[in-house]
Amino acid sequence: MTKYFNINYEMDRAEVHRAIERKVKKDKADYICVADGVILNIANRKPEYLKVVNGGMFAICDSSYVPLYLRWIYGRHYEQYCGSQIFIDIVRCRKYRMIFMGTSQNTLDGLKENLKKENPEVEGMQFVELPYKAVEDFDYEGIAKEIEADEADIIWIALGAPKQEIFMSKLKPHLKRGVMIAVGAAFKFYSGTDVKRAPQWMIKCHLEFVHRIFKEPKKQLKRCSMILLTLPQLLVEETMRKHKKENDME
């Protein structure tokens, strides 16, 4: 795990999965944030949210641009590990009992049908629609009891950022075990009933954000404008941190 842009990232995919397995075996509760450009932006503008993002096990790098920035600044080669990818990787591995929480029942129904093709054991797992309300108003104790009764190892949360990360931080104290992972739009991508992910050629060319702008223009344009406003400062500050580390080592 390494801190970049003030976020505790785990960039090694194999270590991400080893850490999840260790946590599940220890019967301890924790969470993982899937940090895209939106989370990076909000976390660096709001200190309390940054504490939430760094309050779990670590964040994985959902942004395709952060690895490019780190290559420019540090000369290090990292890869994106997006929420939809870790989601399907864990579903396909068939190692864990899971519970899926958030979004609409229609999306959850479609998600279940599609995931059964990847992992037949999904048939016996719960897909729980969470009520639409402020993050402070959820019955966290009741939700925790439902998860504990299910004996889920992995708790998938899809409420959208920054709500889903705050939700996990508030639920964690009530859980005895399980790893929560907030995957945002992954439920929609794999449900077959909602927004689809960008084609592979757009993903490889770092143009997934363009696809999402066309699908949700009002929401995504606002997010992109905020990222562009704060990005120059983030790049300057990270470059300065690099030089400071180098000077301290001399």
Residue 153 burial by Cβ neighbours in a 10 Å radius (0-12, 13-18, 19+): buried
User: What's the predicted TM-score (pTM) here?
Assistant: 0.87
Q: Span 84-104, mean pLDDT? A: 95
Q: Is residue 62 part of a domain?
A: yes
Answer whether 61's CB lies under 8 Å from 87's CB. no
CB 191 within 8 A of CB 108: yes
What are 33's strand-pairing partners? 59
Percent of the chain that is helix, strand, coil (3-state, to 5): 60, 15, 30
Q: Is the pLDDT of residue 209 over 60?
A: no
d(CA 70, CA 75): 7
Using DSSP, state whether 31 is helix, strand or coil: strand
Per-residue pLDDT, 231: 80
Residue 248 lies in a domain: no
220 occurs within a structural domain? no
Per residue in 101-132, pLDDT (tens digit) is 998 899 999 999 999 999 999 999 999 999 88
**Least confident residue range of 81-85, 151-155, 224-228, 237-241:** 224-228
Q: Is residue 216 one of the residues assigned to a domain?
A: no
What integer pLDDT is reported at residue 249 of this predicted model? Answer: 66
What pLDDT, on a 0 to 100 scale, did the predictor assign at position 219?
A: 62
Number of domains in the chain: 1
Specify the residue for token string 């795990």. 1
Q: Is residue 166 part of a domain?
A: yes
The parent domain of residue 160 ranges over 2-198
Mean residue pLDDT across the chain: 88
240 within some domain: no
**pLDDT given at position 200:** 64
Spatial separation of the C-alpha atoms in residues 197 and 249, rounded to whole Å: 44
Phi, psi of 114 (to 5 degrees): -75, -40
- Which residues share a beta bridge with 141? none
- Nearest CA to 37 among 249, 247, 209, 237? 209
- Residue 1: what pLDDT? 87
What percent of the chain is modeled with pLDDT above 90? 66
Closest CA to 154 of 89, 97, 86: 97
pLDDT digits (tens, 9 = 90+) for 160-180: 889 999 999 999 999 999 999
For range 67-90, the mean pLDDT: 93
Neighbour count for residue 55 (Cβ, 10 Å) = 15
- Domain membership of residue 151 (yes or no) is yes
Q: Which H helix or E strand runs over 29? A: strand 29-35
How much is the pLDDT for 142?
96
Task: Name the percent of the chain lying above pLDDT 70.
Answer: 84
Q: Is residue 237 part of a domain?
A: no
Write the secondary structure of 32-79 as one string of H (helix), E (strand) and C (coil). Answer: EEEECHHHHHHHCCCHHHHHHHCCCCEEEECCCCHHHHHHHHHCCCCC
Q: Which tokens is 246 given?
A: 């180098």
In tens, the pLDDT along 14-68 reads: 999 999 999 999 988 999 999 998 899 999 999 999 999 999 999 999 988 899 9
Residue 90 is encoded by which pair of tokens?
A: 């864990």
